[in-house]
Amino acid sequence: MHPLIDHFQGYLLLDKEEIEIISQRVSFCKIKRRQIILQEGQVCKHYTFVVKGCFRMYGIDDKGYEHNIQFAAENDWIADIDSFHSGKPSKLYIQAIEPAEVIQLDSPNLYFLYENIPKLNRIFKVIAENKFIELQNRVLQTFSSTAETRYLSFLEQYRHLTNRLPNTQIASYLGITPEFLSKIRKDLCKNH
């Protein structure tokens, strides 16, 4: 519970009663490496806070290629927000890249917390706005930046994950082949 409470406290301070209410409304889970916690066709039932480990959210195109959309590691959230709020089946997958420990919040408990701890409504609004900004910047980069620039932005955003993610996962996120990623890395080493 402490990592989640510390995370919330980074936005707004919570009192003891609020912390107690939160602790009664969340669930703690251990996830195995490569375990899928959401797959296409399922409704996303949880906002997942990563205590330990690393996850990826990805989609699969008509040719069977996986395309990473997001990574989440310690002190970050991951969810298919569209599916979570609409109740529609997801078009995405969420998979653990490493063994993980998570704290999850389902929809009824999240809405209960919004109503009973107004600070959490504000906290989640800021979290969602930050994720939206990340996504907006990523979309802009996809059509207006070179692969090298996208890689440098990836390093800036996910520096803490560079040594934890296989090249194939990073390349998928960038929309390039692992071979081209190796070339970019070699070129950057030569130039610096």
CATH number at residue 56: 2.60.120.10
Number of domains present in the structure of the chain = 1
* 192 located within any domain: no
Q: How far apart are the first and last CA of the chain?
A: 43
pTM: 0.90
> By CB neighbour count within 10 A (0-12 exposed, 13-18 middle, 19+ buried), where does 177 fall?
middle
CB of 169 closer than 8 Å to CB of 97: yes
- pLDDT at position 88 is 97
Bridge partners, residue 32, by sequence:
none
- pLDDT at position 53 is 97
pLDDT digits (tens, 9 = 90+) for 75-94: 999 999 999 999 999 999 99
Domain span at residue 69?
Answer: 2-117
Ranges of residues in the chain with a pLDDT under 70 are none
CB of 49 closer than 8 Å to CB of 23: no
* 129 located within any domain: no
- pLDDT at position 158 is 87
Radius of gyration of the chain (CA): 18
* 162 located within any domain: no
